[in-house]
Amino acid sequence: MKNIISLSASKIAEEVSSGNLKAEEVVQAHLERIKTEDPKVRAFITVLEENALAAAREIDSKRSHGKKLGKLAGVPVAVKDNILVEGVETTCASKILKGFKAPYDATITQKLKKEDAVIIGKTNLDEFAMGSSNENSAFFKTKNPWNLETVPGGSSGGSAAAVAARMAPLSLASDTGGSIRQPASFCGLVGVKPTYGAVSRYGLIAFASSLDQIGPMARSVEDAALLLSSIAGHDPKDSTSAPQAQNRFSGKPLENVRGLKIGIPREYFAEGLDPEVRKSVWNAVDYLKTLGAEVKDVTLPHTSYAVATYYIIAPSEAASNLARFDGVRYGYRAQNIKSLSELYEKSRGEGFGPEVKRRIMLGTYALSSGYYDAYYNRAQKARTLIARDFENVFKEVDFLATPTAPSVAFKFGEKSADPVAMYLSDIFTIPSNLAGNASLSIPCGLNKDHLPIGLQLIAPAFEDEKLLALAATVEKAVNFPQLN
């Protein structure tokens, strides 16, 4: 048997289901990998060693009694620490939630367990998923396994680093403005932001409810499709869950690309794009062209307003969602308090980090009397125009191809002193969250420093299956190297 940590999730599930591998062996191999690699990378906030081994033994027992195993049989999955796992500490990488144990499972956590996956740990993130580099975690910084001096991306840097360093074959993360796709790009992974409403958000600690989406991170399209098939589908517990949400994704390449129309939005190839990123993305597009796809120059005219629009809407929703963390009901509570207002002020002042405070203040200001129409209301109108751009362009083309990020992974401290420069890291991913369509990042090359470059593919809402098929077609050609 090949080295277990090198096996794909699909292969692990197949071998465990057939009895060629024990789930306990698989989990033990990944726990050993965590022990050797995580002291350097620091992807995990919590490693669930005892829980994971107990779950693995239960799966092996189930199989030995002749019961059919789920589609993720014995596969270790790392879960971003803003998704609830019953009985497990869930912190959102924030001091304000230190010690909070989830009282119930998120819908997707229940689905993972039902499919016999093994939750191996909770991964680090930018506090409350607010950031693009993982430098905003209240606990520690996760490092990029490709180069430990560079960031893994954010906010799902821990989920990306765990998979890239082979500490887990799959991870779950959330994407509000690019938090799955940008770390996937930086860490050489496939990261999928499904259509808004395709995956239940019940049990995800909310940042911006109209933008948040949960999705998979994996080392291959096939594995990402396997995880997405396990978690997608309608959920009556989530009022934004779509009744038409699918839950079957093959991740197999398209049989025929001839006649497909791929749009290249000119706004995504403007000044400021790293030349090596531009070249790698165009190489992938040219490959599709050689297969018979038609490549067309298109425009999304309101793209230039996307970042400004996002940084009104997302902080406004965050200010509302994070009001519940008040030092009374759960989480961190300040000491030596003389009044209720002092309890609120000190608990929130001491419990939240600088970036979270910045966004709460931005959002509170945008929603305040006299400014609501000037900021929040106008941002919602701009959002409608951005969504309409996508609707119009998808009348002309089947998919869009763009860079995932303007650059490869940058060094720690390079952008942390300038919030605006950091916000611009998500300039190519934010529009898809505002529009709610399906998008993903897939590796398409390495730069001269051997750092991964990501290609973003975008499809209309609920065309997730076709999007994965196109990505698998590109993946076949690129033959991207994985870390050992």
Report, as an integer, the average pLDDT of 247-259: 90
Own/partner contacts of 243-246, CB < 8 Å, gap of 24 or more, are 244/462, 245/195, 245/197, 245/198, 245/199, 245/462, 246/198, 246/462, 246/464, 246/465
Residue 98 predicted with pLDDT over 90: no
Q: Which range is least confidently modeled, 17-26, 79-88, 330-339?
A: 330-339
CB 455 within 8 A of CB 401: yes
Confidence (pLDDT) at 484:
73
Residue 142 predicted with pLDDT over 60: yes
Confidence (pLDDT) at 428:
96
Report the alpha-carbon distance of residue 43 to residue 248 in Å, rounded. Answer: 30
CB 142 within 8 A of CB 152: yes
CB 254 within 8 A of CB 470: yes
CB 379 within 8 A of CB 122: no
Residue 129 predicted with pLDDT over 90: yes
Confidence (pLDDT) at 1:
43
CA 108-114-115 angle, 5° bins: 90
Do the strands 44-47 and 118-123 form a parallel or antiparallel pair, or are they unpaired?
A: antiparallel
Confidence (pLDDT) at 370:
86
Q: Which two tokens stand for residue 443?
A: 């590796």
Give the pLDDT confidence of 71-95 residue by residue, as tens digits.
Answer: 999 999 999 999 999 999 999 999 9
pLDDT confidence of 2, banded at 50, 70, 90?
low
Give the pLDDT confidence of 156-201 residue by residue, as tens digits.
Answer: 999 999 999 999 999 999 999 999 999 999 999 999 999 999 999 9
HEC secondary structure over the chain = CCCHHHCCHHHHHHHHHHCCCCHHHHHHHHHHHHHHHHHHHCCEEEECHHHHHHHHHHHHHHHHCCCCCCCCCCCEEEEECCECCCCCECCCCCHHHCCCECCCCCHHHHHHHHCCCEEEEEECCCHHHCCCCCCCCCCCCCCECCECCECCCCCCHHHHHHHHCCCCCEEEEEECCCCCHHHHHHHCCEEEECCCCCECCCCECCCCCCCCEEEEEECCHHHHHHHHHHHECCCCCCCCCCCCCCCCCCCCCCCCCCCCEEEEEHHHHCCCCCHHHHHHHHHHHHHHHHCCCEEEEECCCCHHHHHHHHHHHHHHHHHHHHHHCCCCCCCCCCCCCCCHHHHHHHHHHHHCCHHHHHHHHHHHHHHCCCCCHHHHHHHHHHHHHHHHHHHHHCCCCCEEEEECCCCCCCECCCCCCCHHHHHHHHCCCHHHHHHCCEEEEEEEEECCCCCEEEEEEEECCCCHHHHHHHHHHHHHHHCCCCCC
Confidence (pLDDT) at 247:
84
Report the alpha-carbon distance of residue 133 to residue 354 in Å, rounded. Answer: 14
Give first-to-last CA distance, the chain, whole Å. 17
Contacts of residue 92, Cβ cutoff 8 Å, sequence gap at least 6: 81, 82, 125, 127, 128, 129, 205
Cβ-count burial of 329 within 10 angstroms (0-12 exposed, 13-18 middle, 19+ buried)? Answer: exposed
Give the pLDDT confidence of 308-327 residue by residue, as tens digits.
Answer: 999 999 999 999 999 999 98
Residue 39 predicted with pLDDT over 50: yes
CB 123 within 8 A of CB 78: yes
CATH of domain 4-231: 3.90.1300.10
Confidence (pLDDT) at 483:
81
Q: Domain-by-domain residue ranges, the chain?
A: 4-231
- Across the chain, what does the average pLDDT equal? 95
Active-site residues, by number, are 80, 155, 179
- Altogether, the residues listed in the chain come to a count of 484
Report, as an integer, the average pLDDT of 346-353: 94
Give the pLDDT confidence of 376-412 residue by residue, as tens digits.
Answer: 999 999 999 999 999 999 999 999 999 999 999 999 9
- Matching residue, tokens 């519940």: 324
Q: Which amino acid is at 472?
A: A
